[in-house]
Amino acid sequence: MLMVDQLLSNRASKTSLSLDVDGSDGENNAGSWWHQFVRIDDQFDGTTLPGLSMDLKNAATSGEMYALAIKSEPLFFFIVDAFSAGLSLDATLAIVHSAQRFLVDPLHFGTVVLTDIVESVRNLVSLNLSGIALLTSFTWGYSVLLRFVTIHSTGYLDIRLQLAVNDEIHDLHVLAVPVDAQKHSAEAVNTLVMKVLTALDARAIEKIIGVTVDGDPFHMEKYKHVGVLLRKEVAAATNNAAFYVIHSGTYHVNMVIEELLEICQAEFGILMTLTDIESLCKLNSSLFAAMGPEPTRAASAHWIEVYNLCEWLAMH
């Protein structure tokens, strides 16, 4: 809604003037006007934030406990309907006054002035942003992990293969390393994968029966071609027409979240992409801390297990 967007822009502009140059507001260190609507902690469940059908007067997010004070729920919903029809603030006020003449109790809405209409806009925006905060609390991990990026926005390459060994199918996680999509082509990645497989087992290419492609389109679109190139390598070596390339479950979950964000954008005019969601997440210090340090290549139990599995596969 245009007037909601204008209200957001005006409020954001006014608030930004009060922030320090480094984006801090001092004590709260918000860094952005949006921060007041983003939870500080990550302990958030469905009972904390009621939906529109529940008691709006008690609607709040835990952490900062931002509560809404709604003068009249019937009036609020009436005004929301007027906003949905694209009416301006003044037109909405006129419609409310006109509607009061047809009510059994003309005082049902009380004495409504322009200030009440503006307050309803703010409450509507707050509810929308709180709803998005709820969505964020459920998807922030996906928004970071699905994009396969480090905290420095370096993309990840994640290659998983299925190999047939002694009539059994085994999943092998080959690579999970940070890469810069602007500097690495699919062909170069395919060559690297082939070198890794050959180093593990000279006949590895004959055992591959499939590959999954992971990651979101923004970072991984060009790497989807890696699966096609691997299929050609396998076909050239074994003439195996059954080799498959599929998107992993993570990719499909990413598509679902993108769809949810598109709905939010259409309904609220806020948040467009996973990048925006991640930006909101980064304003939340607790969530940001929960991501942990940037992954390293140091030895770990996980990679030792992967190494042992690779050795086992090479022996068969």
Taking only the tens place, the pLDDT of each residue in 189-239 is 788 878 877 887 787 787 777 776 665 555 566 667 777 888 888 888 877
Percent of the chain exceeding pLDDT 70 equals: 33
Residues 6+ apart with CB under 8 A from 100: 106, 108, 109, 112
Element at 180 (helix H, strand E): none
Confidence of residue 9 (pLDDT cuts 50, 70, 90): very low
Confidence of residue 127 (pLDDT cuts 50, 70, 90): confident
The confidence score (pLDDT) of residue 159 equals 64
Model confidence pLDDT, tens digit, residues 29-78: 333 333 333 333 333 333 333 333 333 333 333 334 456 677 777 788 88
pLDDT above 60: residue 162: yes
The confidence score (pLDDT) of residue 28 equals 39
Q: Where are the alpha helices (DSSP H) in the chain?
A: 2-18, 73-84, 89-100, 114-145, 186-200, 204-207, 217-220, 224-238, 249-268, 274-283, 285-290, 301-314
CB atoms within 10 A of CB 279: 14
Residue with the bigger pLDDT between 64 and 182: it is: 182
Model confidence pLDDT, tens digit, residues 289-311: 555 544 444 444 555 555 565 56
CA 111 to chain centre: 42
Q: Is the pTM of this model over 0.85?
A: no
Residue with the bigger pLDDT between 22 and 94: it is: 94
Model confidence pLDDT, tens digit, residues 48-58: 333 333 333 33
The confidence score (pLDDT) of residue 40 equals 34
DSSP structural state of residue 273: S
217: left (phi over 0), alpha (psi -120 to 50) or beta: alpha
CA 186 to chain centre: 26
The confidence score (pLDDT) of residue 272 equals 53
pLDDT above 50: residue 11: no
Element at 51 (helix H, strand E): none
Q: Which pair of tokens denotes residue 48?
A: 């904390």
> Mean of the pLDDT values across residues 227-255?
71
The most confident of the ranges 13-27, 95-109, 189-203, 208-222 is: 189-203
